[in-house]
Structure 1
Amino acid sequence: MCPKVFSYPKGALEHENVHTGAKPFSCEHCGCSYPLSRTLTDHIHRKHSKTIPEEKMHNCIVCSKEYKSESGLNRHYASNHQELGYDYRIGCDICEETFCSIKQLIRHKLTHPGFKPYECDTCNKSFSSKGQLKTHQRVHTGEKPYVCNYCDKRFAQHAPYLYHLKTHTGEKAYFCVNCKRGFIAPANLRNHMNKCHVKYETTNEIYIKSEPFQLAGE
């Protein structure tokens, strides 16, 4: 039996749908069905916002910023007002559980796969961590903090920067298990396997990241 406890009978009854697979809440605009009424409401706000009257907007009680969905408002609180921890009941739009503070809600929602509380103010794209949001925002600001010591080329993200450095150092950390040829990146190794070793299946053994292979006499 599921140990989850709800404050109201409605929440408990709807939660049973998650276990049974029932989806009694249908969208009147497109016919999509959902197990929870809150999920349906969020769907309508996200997909059919033009049909929603302005008076149904959700306002932030701290800065008065407006959102068309409760989930959007929740993400705003998570991104901008976590430290305040206001004591009012706020519900999880995934499982109907409610909490008395934003911090409790965020801590709970991080247990749900795909939860992305950090929203970009420029394009409204959401991310699961502050670090991911900061990296994404460089797309808008043009910031490139990673500078190559060899040629002064700049990069916005760390991974492309490290890959670029290998073009100068010649470091090859990915080796073919069949011919021992080394490559800078996994994508280059995959291309090599497809072109030169097509008779082999693309298994983890073939694409394994190994220690650099040393030729005889080196």
Structure 2
Amino acid sequence: MCHLKFPASSRLKQHLFGFHKRPGPFPCELCPRSYFNKFRLVRHCASVHKIGTVTQKEKNKMCETCGRGFASNTVLANHMRTHSGERPYRCGDCPAAFAHHGAYYTHVKRLHGKIVDRYGTVTRAEK
């Protein structure tokens, strides 16, 4: 069962093509895999078939506490919560609080049967 959230229908389509074995519009010429976008096809060819190179973002945003590097300020800010103990995502139905939206989302869906998007919109989870 899939527990991911999708703010736009295009992201849902990308997920379905990429993770549920439905054929995407970008097929690999060397194996039966296909992908929803060209970047994922290129990354597949580089890592699986050793054709081309995989480009990775430079991890130049450094944590001043532990020295780990991150590719974006957003990921660095999320990481900093592991040091500060900050838990900004608070459940409205119980006292639980979380450092990351993903953990909060999973908690609310599994324990309270609701789906909460990043904008705070609450909907009932379908059974």
| Higher Rg of the two aligned structures | 1
TM, length-normalised to structure 2: 0.46
TM-score by length of 1: 0.28
